[in-house]
Structures are given as structure tokens and as C-alpha cells.
Structure 1
Amino acid sequence: MQVSHTPAAVSAAFDDPNLIAYAGLVPVMRLAERCGLPRLVTEKVKLTGVTNGAGAAADAKVTSIVAGMVAGADSIDDLDVLRHGAMPTMFGGIRAPSTLGTFLRAFTHGHALQLHAVHRRFLGALAAHTPLLPGADQMAFIDVDSTHKRVYGRTKQGAEYGRFKGIHTLHPLLATICTPRSRPVIAGVRMRRGKAADSRGAPKFVSEALATAAEAGCTGLRVLRADSQFYNAGVIGACRRAGAHFSITAGMNPSIKRAILAIPDQAWRQITYPTAVPDPETGELISDAEVAEIPAYTAFASRKKAERVTARLIVRRVRDLAKPATIAEQGELFPAWRYHPFFTDNPAPTLQAEREHRHHAVIEQVIADSKASAMAHLPSAHFHANAAWLTLWAMAYNLLRATGALTSAFHAKATTATLRAHLIHVPARLARSARRITLHLPHNWRWQHAWTHLFDTVHAPPEPG
């Protein structure tokens, strides 16, 4: 492809007041309104005692930030993408980045908790209005994990040298919900200091995530999945109090090592993965492994009786090619193995439970998405402003996922970048006639039928009842 005119024959001017660059925000923010986002913010977020008017019109400020994040803004300054062309004609209440920055800096810990309440109820409304979590009445997986986000600046509150030497980080905690037929959505997020232990606050966070899953329509079997950092009695107790099952990677402590060594050779079952999976320790792709189960393993045996848990210990082992095989006294060749145990009360058959547990890695997609979008920059020096920014990103992420689910089967599984490219970043020209506004979009837009279906769906009269 090449430019069809000479340089002298082409000019450019930013002078059309009737154009908008993100026409996809029209149906997306209409969906947010239908699910009650402005109303929830008005009801829950009360920035009382805040000076400079930062607490006024919280609904307009929250929806402005969410809309900017949906369009791809990853810093406070980037929220200015909403103020161009005919955007003020199409949307009311757009706020300037400086106003939104002042609003975020007014947050305290209590205000952040109020915003968490908005997030939980907004997710429930999205699940009720769209096919966001198909099959949630049968089975749902709640995944919990933490991540470190590198930050810069000596004045960044909460930034500390954490897991990585010489690198200042903050340490967010995330929980997602998915079903066997859906991509994950965010059940909850928490901002923590860089040095916070991986499992700090995990039991309470797990309880809230499981409650959020129930509000989002997960009324069937619920399985909480997590890595070994969350292998503790508090997390498992939270699952049992909520009536959920658990599937948690277990560290190789002495008790588990003894249990694995006691597994007879005939108990190991050969499995072959249809597609190679990465080894969690080396990153090497593996296709073959062996699985065995200890049906009644008692964890936390040193704790008081009420905190001991008896459930299944499922172990996967793969050949450790980095270590040579050993020869016993009789001359037999013994291969070296690496063992990957997890502790679960998932009622599924052994191989199915093992496969479902490995799928916990799906939360890494959400973490990667966050670092490629709104969490690319934690924009403030104020800890609670960054905590609010993180929660607002979770709302924007869930709103985009609901938009995809409402658009087509393809977009229900598409990545966030694809949703933006197909549905949000489409330009339009506004035309007014008889008190009506018409959006004129590009001819031959590749995804025009999907976009039109989304637009017509969210603008149709609400169903009665």
C-alpha cells in the first residue's frame, strides 16, 4: 500500500467539530448506564469532608475515568482523549484530567472500600444483563493470585523493595471468575505495599471474591484455585465457610514429601497433553507426565484439630531431564522426577481435576492485560489514589468483557486489545436532524455487523420485569 497522491496534494487540519474517534464508547457507556454504574457510585461513594469540591459529582468522574480506560488510557493525562471533536455533544459530564486527578487523590482507605462495593455490584449487574459467565449456574472457577508492579519515584507511597532486588514495587492482589465456556472477569482487586506477603489478607479477600461470584450468578459448583502462596488453613477455611471447593498448589514440605514417596509405582497414571504445557519451574514445554492421587491426606496436622483439613492430594510428576538417572545397588536405572502436588476437594475425577487445576494459569492473562493497559502506570504518588485507579481499571475491564459477550461469540472470547480495535476505536461523524443524532461510521468497516448488533441491543427498550 502507498499514498495515492503526491505530498504537495495532501494537507491536514484538525478543524472538524463533528467527529469523534471512539464511537464505540456510545454503546459501551450506554451498557454501563443500563447496569446502574452512575447510580451505584452516587449511592456508595461518599467523599465527605473533602475540600476543593473533589467529592462532588462522583458519578460523572468515575464514569469519565472508566470511559477513558475503555478507550485505552493508561494514565491520568491520557484521560484527555475524551475531550475532542463532538464528544461533549455525545456525552455529558466529561471531566478534565486535572479534575479527575484531584478526585483520585481525595480517596482514603474507606473511600477505596466504597469503590470496591460499587465494583462488586456492577459486576453482578453486568452478569445479569449480558451472557458474561455462561454456565455459571453449573460450574465456576475463582482464581486468586498476586503480582508485583514496578513503580518509579521516591515519593510513591507504599513502594518498597519487594521480591525483586533493587526494584521498587507495589503488590496488587487479584481474583478472577471464569467458567469452562468463558474468559475470566475480575471479582476483586486490592492494592498492597511492595513488601506485603503474598498471602497477606488472603482469607478475607477469598471470602469477598466467593461472595462476589455468588452475586454474579455463580450458583453451581465453585472451585477456588490458587498457587502455593495461598496454601494455608485460613484460605481453605474461607472456602469451606462459603460452601466452595478449593484446589491449591501445595509446597514440598516434609509431610508432603513423605506422602509422595509412599505412593506405589502402580498408582501412577500416564497422561499426554494434547498441546504442550510449560513446566512451572523451568518453563520447558512438556507433553507427557504421570499423575497419582492420595485420596485422604491431612494437611496442617500440627495445628489444632478444628483447623486440620483432610482432602485429596493429587500429584503430577515429570521427568527432570536436567538430572541424570541414578543406578541402585541392584543395577536398576531410576529416573529423576519433579513433583507438582496440589491439595483439593474438587469432586471431579483425578485427571479432570488435574487439568482444571492447571487452567488456573488463565489469571496470568488478566495480569498481563492490566500491565498493558491501565496498570502500565500507577499514576499517583498517593497510595489510595492508586488503589482507586486499580479498582476503576477492574470495572473498565469487566465492562469491556460484557461488551464482547453481548456482541458475538467471537468477541466474547477476544482479547481486550481486539475488542478495542474492533468495537471502540471506530471513528464517526455526528449529524443532527429533528433533534436526533446520527452516527456516520466508516463504509466497509470489517466489523460493522457486530458493532451494529451491539448498538441495537443496548439501545433497545429494556425487557419488562
Structure 2
Amino acid sequence: VRVDGAGATHDLLTHLEALNTTRRTVRYLVGWTITDLDEQAIGRLPATAWQESITQDGDLQPGYHVAELTGLNQRQGWPQGMRLLVRRVRPSARHRKNLTAFELRTGWRYSIVVTNIGRMWGIAGSHHPQWLDALARAHAVVEDRVRAGKAMGLANLPSKDWTVNSGWMLAANLGHDLDCWLRLLTLHDQDGLDRAEPDTMRSRLYHLPARLAAHARRRHLRIERTWPWARAFVLAWQRLTDLPALA
């Protein structure tokens, strides 16, 4: 379970811990609001505690560092075994106005993630701060998906009726899922389309400048020859039809 800083509450973490049973293990990575006590603990970290973080592909990220903060900042009332991982990065210009006095003095911008993940069986390196930091940062795509969901119809609800709006949200989310799967399965190697936003997909593929004609008891889709995305559309169609049918 990955949650941003809004999830750093006693009730949520206690609830997640309570979900653990003999047959189920619930692991979490939750953002943490940094306090003065946290900054004091960060200040006590030796230089050797910081290690370069890694990307989602496992490559090193020069200039980005992560360290284990567990044990330097004793917290009362939080779940036993909770770990604190701190990440630092040089602040950009847009972040400078929000830096704390400690961050201005050190020249770094800090963020903390708490987790109950130790060593996961069968996953090498799963207990290392670098691995857990990369796992937590994969949650960042949620903001992109929320933005895309709004572009697919969630920005405005059509009615004052709850049932109508529920149906609208279901249809919008289904459309969003289909859009994601289409790009994943058929456009993954097409530059400009593999990560295209919904508006781009509409203008290039979904709003098709073509004519459906019938001849000799067959239907033909006649695509405008000058349309620059005709080849991509045909490729996506062929790949979709080549997918094996579900048993």
C-alpha cells in the first residue's frame, strides 16, 4: 500500500497493521510530514549514511541520495517496527521559497517515507533503503493518472443525481483503462503515442478521418491517405486482432 503524506496518521497505519494475519502480510510505504525532530535526526546522520538512490530501472541517480533514519528519531505511539527513510535532493528554483531554515542551511531538500517493509522473501535487496525509496517513488504516477482521468470525463459530473454520476464515473474509468491498455499493448514502441495524453489520442487516433464503405458484402474502412497517423492506427488495429482470445 503506497500513500502520500496525507496517509501519515496513527489511525491509517494502525488499520494497515491490523490487516496482517497468518495468511496475509500487508506492507506499506507512506509519506511523512517532516518536523523539527526529524530535521534534528537528519542532522545527526553521518556523511557515510547517505547512498545514491536508484531509478525505476535500477540505475544510479547522481545527485540524489537516501539514508536510513530509523533509530535516530524515536517516536511514541506509532507501530512497532516502523522504519523511516529520508531522501535528499538539490532544490529547484520553484522549491526554494518553501524550504525550511534547516534545508536552506544544508542546501538540500528532504522528504521522508515510513514503511514496515523489512526483508521480503525472494526479493533480493528488498530491505535496502535505495530499493524501498524507488518503490515508494513509483507512486508518483498516480498524479498523472488522476490528471488523465479528469481529461477522460471526471473533471465534471453531469448530474445532481448520485446514481447518474456513479454511472458516469464508471464509464469514464472504463474509458481510461481502455486508453491505457491500448497504448500498452499496441503503441508501446510508437514515439509520441506510447505516453500520449487523452487529448493527443483523441486528435491522432480516436477521431479517425475515414469512411466506412460496403462492397461485395464486405465493409472497408477507407482512411485518408494524407493523415500522418494512418500507419499507427493500422498497426494498433493489427496488434489488437492478433491478441489471443481469453479461454
TM-score (norm 2): 0.68
SS of match in other structure, 1:413: coil
Counterpart of 2:45 in structure 1 is: 264
1:95-244 map, 5 Å:
224-231=1-8, 232-234=12-14, 236-237=16-17, 240=20, 242-244=24-26
**Are 2:131 and 1:371 equivalent residues in the alignment?**
no
Deviation per residue, 1:213-272 (Å, 9 max, x gap): xxxxxxxxxxx3211211232453377465353211122367x63882584323442648
Residues 323-379 of structure 1: per-residue CA shift (max 9 Å, x gap): 668xxxxxxxx6476542111217253223323323322111112122333023111
**Which residue in the other structure is 1:446 paired with?**
228
How do residues 22-37 of structure 1 correspond to structure 2 at under 5 angstroms? none
Check whether the contact 1:378–1:386 (CA below 8 A) recurs between aligned residues. Answer: yes
What amino acid is the match of 1:413? R
SS at 1:373's partner residue? Answer: helix
SS of corresponding position for 2:178: helix
In the other structure, the counterpart of 1:294 is 69
**Candidates 127, 139, 161, aligned match of 1:360:** 139
8 Å CA contact 1:270–1:288 kept in 2: the answer is no
Give me the whole-angstrom Cα distance separating, in 2, the residues matched to 1:250 and 1:239.
21
| Structure 2 residue 217 is the aligned partner of structure 1 residue 415 | no
Contact 1:233 1:300 in 2 (8 A): no
1:394 aligns with 2:173: yes
Letter of the structure 2 residue corresponding to residue 230 of structure 1: G
- 1:239 and 1:444 mapped to 2: Cα distance? 58
The number of equivalent residue pairs is 218
Q: Does 1:340 align with 2:111?
A: yes
The yes-or-no answer on 1:310 pairing with 2:81 is yes
Residue 227 of structure 2 aligns to a residue in which SS?
Answer: coil
Please list every run of 5 or more consecutive structure 2 residues that lacks an aligned counterpart in the other structure.
56-61, 119-125
Among 405, 409, 422, the residue aligned to 2:184: 405
The 8 Å contact of residues 298 and 309 in structure 1, kept in 2 or not, is answered as no
**Amino acid aligned to 1:393:** A
Unaligned runs of 5+ in 1: 1-223, 275-286, 326-333
Question: Which one of the candidate residues 206, 214, 217 is aligned to 1:424?
Answer: 206
| Equivalent position SS for 2:114 | strand
Contact 1:369 1:416 in 2 (8 A): yes
**Alpha-carbon separation, structure 1, partners of 2:246 and 2:67:** 53
- SS of aligned partner of 1:426: coil
Larger radius of gyration: 1
Percentage identity across paired residues of the two chains: 24
CA RMSD of aligned residues (A): 3.8
